[in-house]
Amino acid sequence: MSPSCYDLKSDRVSSPAENKQRYGKKMEYLIGLILASAVAGAANVIGFDRERSFYSTVLIVIAAYYVLFAAMGASNSTLIVEIAVAGGFSVLAVLGFKKNLWFAAAAVIGHGVFDYVHHFLIDNPGVPRWWPGFCGSFDVIFGLYLATLLLRRPASTFNSGDVRTNGS
C-alpha cells in the first residue's frame, strides 16, 4: 500500500502523487541541507575536521559522483569530460590541502554552483533528476561551514597531516 498524508488545508488524505507534486521538488534541497549539517557536525564532534585532509577528501569524493553517473548511464565521451571536470576539482582539493584550505572551501561551494548548471554544460543521462538539488545544497552548506571555520579558527588548529611537523 502506498503511503499517504493527511492534508490539513483540504481536510482529506492526499495521494502519494499529490505529495510528490507538492513536496517532491523541495525535498532534495532539505535532505542536502540536513545531511551537510549532520556531516559537518559529526566531523566537528569526532574531530575529523581538525585534519587538513578531511575537507579536501570530501571534495574529491563529491566531484567523483558525476564520473560514477557517467559510467552508469552515459557515453565514453561524457565519461572523459566528467573525469576531466572531477580532475579539476581534485587539483583544487590538493591545493587546499597543500597550500591553503580556502581553495577547498571555494571549490566545494563552486561545485554546488556547478551542480545547478551541470545539465546545461554536460549531457549525462546517468545523473538522477533529484541529484543537482541535493548535491548543490549539500555542497554550498558544507563549503560555507568550512569557510566559517577558516574565519573563526587560526590556521594552526588544522593539523597538516605531515609527520615531519612533529619535530622528527
Instruction: Let me know if residue 2 belongs to a domain.
Output: no
Tell whether 104 is covered by a domain.
Answer: yes
Calpha distance 28→130 (Å, rounded):
6
Cβ–Cβ under 8 Å, residues 36 and 138: yes
**20, part of any domain:** no
Q: Are 52 and 101 in contact (CB under 8 A)?
A: yes
Kindly state whether residue 162 falls inside one of the protein's structural domains: no
Query: Helices marked H in 5-152 — which ranges?
Result: 16-46, 52-73, 76-98, 101-121, 131-152
Assess if residue 6 is contained within a domain.
no
Residue 63 resides in a domain: yes
Percent over 70 (pLDDT), the chain: 76
Residue 52 — pLDDT band, cuts 50, 70, 90?
confident
Which grid coordinates belong to 64? 567523483
Residue 165 lies in a domain: no
Domain extent for 129: 26-156
Q: What is the pTM of this model?
A: 0.79
Q: Residue 161 corresponds to which cell in the numbers above?
A: 597531516
Task: Give the confidence band of 165 by pLDDT, cuts at 50, 70, 90.
Answer: very low
The answer to whether the CB of 73 falls within 8 A of the CB of 124 is yes
Q: Is the separation of the CB atoms in 32 and 138 below 8 Å? A: yes
Considering the domain boundaries, does residue 107 fall inside one? Answer: yes
Number of separate domains in the chain: 1
